[in-house]
Amino acid sequence: MPRAVPAIVAAETFTRAAQPVLPVGDGLVLRPWLRRDGPEVYAAFQDPAIRRWHVRTADTVEEAGDWVDSWARSWHSGTAANWAVADSRTGRLMGRASLHHMELWHGEAEIAYWVVPAARGRGIAPRAVDALVGWAFEVAGFHRLELRHSVHNAQSCRVAHKSGFVLEGINRSAGLHADGWHDMHLHARVQPTRSAEPAHRVTYAETIPEAATQPVHRLRR
C-alpha cells in the first residue's frame, strides 16, 4: 500500500553514501568504527560504570571486535548510525555516540552514548551529542530525536540537559538492566524549524529528587 507522504529521512542518506567524519571540536571527531577499535571497546566494557547501564557484556576482545564490525555495517543497512568518539590527532577511542532505533519514514531515532573512564570529566559526551544532533537535523533531516536513561543515572541526565533534550516524562519499568527493570527518563529534541520548544523546560535540578525515589523492579529468578 503506498504511503500518503514520503519518508522524512531518505534511505539513500545511508545506503548510497559513505559514513562521514563529524567534527566535534577541541581535538575530537566522530568517525566510523574500525576493527582495530575492538581492544579499546573491550577495555571500556570492563569499567563498572559502563557495565552498570548496559545489559551486554564483552567477554573477549574478539567479541568486542565483532560488535565494532556490526556497528560499522549498520550504516549501509540504514538501521543505525554508530560513531566512535576519537582524538582527531591520535585516533584514540574516547567513547561512542549513536543513532539507533531509526525510523526513517517518521524521521525519528534514539541517541545513545558512553565515554571511556580516562576521558570523563571533560564534557566529551554533551559535545559529541551536540555534533551528532547537528548532523541528524541539518544534514540527514530527522524530525525528532529521543534520549532515554535510567532514572538512577544522574550523569546521563546531566548530559541530556546540557545537550538541550527536554524531559518529557518517565517510562515505567521500560529499561532492563543487570539488576532488573528500571523506570526510564524520556528526553527529546525536535527539529527546531518544525516545532517550537515548550514554554517551560524541566530543569535537571527539578528531576533529580523525584528520580532518586524511583524503584528498581527486580527480576524474578
What are the sequence ranges of the domains in the chain?
A: 1-123, 143-221
Q: Dihedral sign, CA of 73, 127, 202, 144?
A: negative
Q: What is the pLDDT at residue 167?
A: 97
Per-residue model confidence (pLDDT) at position 215: 53
CA distance 73 to 117: 26
Question: What is the rounded distance in angstroms from the CA atom of residue 48 to the CA atom of residue 114?
Answer: 12
pTM of the predicted model as reported, rounded to 2 decimal places: 0.85
Residue 211 has pLDDT above 90, yes or no: no
- For residues 45 and 54, what is the distance between their CA atoms, to the nearest angstrom? 9
Residue 196 predicted with pLDDT over 90: no
> Among residues of the chain, what percentage have pLDDT more than 90?
79
CATH 3.40.630.30 is right for the domain spanning 1-123: yes
Q: Report which of 198, 99, 197, 84 is spatially closest to residue 141, judged by C-alpha positions.
A: 99
- For residue 194, is pLDDT > 90? no
* The pLDDT of residue 5: 73
Q: Are 1-123 and 143-221 in the same CATH fold?
A: yes
Residue range 143-221 in CATH 1.10.8.60: no
pLDDT in tens, 86-145: 999 999 999 999 999 999 999 999 999 999 999 999 999 999 999 999 999 999 999 999
Q: Output 64-68 pairs: Cβ under 8 A, ≥24 positions apart.
A: 64/38, 64/39, 65/35, 65/38, 65/39, 65/41, 66/38, 67/38, 67/41, 68/33, 68/34, 68/35, 68/37, 68/38, 68/41
pLDDT at 212 over 50: no
